[in-house]
Amino acid sequence: MKNKIIAGNWKMNKTRAEAESLIRELVPLVAHTPNTVVICVPFTDIYTAVELTRGTNIHVGAQNCHWKESGAYTGEIAPSMLVEAGVEYVVIGHSERRTYFGETDATVLARTKAALAAGLKPIVCIGETLAERQDGRMEEVLTRQVTEGFRDISAEELKHITVAYEPVWAIGTGVTATDEQANDAIRYVRGIFAAKYGKEAADRLYIQYGGSMNDGNAKGLLAMSDVDGGLIGGASLVASKFAAIVHAHE
């Protein structure tokens, strides 16, 4: 059986000082778990996070990276900069970036390729909006996001990628997908990967659920057969809540 990958996405939260106290509290709370623990922090918290998690079981991630190694891209961060800082994971294509910052399947693919080339482990986010689900277009949207967003990702590259299924209607809303809704959507996504990369590769692929996951609903969600972990926003900002999710399925 796979362990779970439990990743916190802090989004635009926590100053350096706040990050320090959260991580100091978190380290002992998650020290003994078979699950993989990741915290995806703002760029300005990376050095602090890497320093304070050295020698622990917590892995550090960023929340975006650019597709070029350097150049005139004001406000962007290159994959090699993250690697040098000690970052292992990077969230790519989060729905907030797709909605507010013009991220498309093509830019998601470009960022993912660059992250992989630098040796980072991308956590690639996909998911449908409420309108798309209500219109019966969930499967079409997920198929497009995987087909376009993974267009020239090789089978070898896929081994280093985690996928996060995050229905947009469940993010930050307090409305969580039911255990069955999450599992059904993830099973559908896994089928898309199986068609392209084969069943074994698709079964090996980690696909997380994200969207209002918390210490109350994590146990049920993580017990589902296809849910390989969680990408947690709000609840990852409180050490005890995030730790409870880490330990919810062991």
Just list the catalytic residues. 94, 166
Q: Are 236 and 227 spatial neighbours (Cβ–Cβ below 8 Å)?
A: no
For ligand 13P, which is the closer residue by CB, 197 or 217?
217
**Nearer to ligand 13P by C-beta: 37 or 231?**
231
48 touches ligand 13P (CB under 6 A): no
Considering only the stretches 51-59, 155-163, 165-173, 195-203, report the one whose residues sit in contact with ligand 13P under the rule CB under 6 A.
165-173
Q: Taking contact as CB under 6 A, which single stretch among the options 113-121, 164-172, 180-188, 195-203 is the one that binds ligand 13P?
A: 164-172
Separation in Å, CA 226 to CA 164, 182, 183, 231: 12, 9, 6, 15
How far, in Å, CA of 165 to CA of 188, rounded? 11
Looking up tokens 């994200």 gives 210
List the interface residues with ligand 13P, window 216-235 (CB under 6 A). Answer: 231-235
**Where does this chain touch ligand 13P (CB under 6 A) — which range of 22-30, 71-79, 142-150, 211-219?**
211-219
The residue among 94 and 197 lying less far from ligand 13P, judged by its C-beta, is 94
Q: In whole angstroms, what is the distance from residue 159 CA to residue 164 CA?
A: 14
Beta strands per DSSP E along 63-205: 89-92, 121-126, 162-165
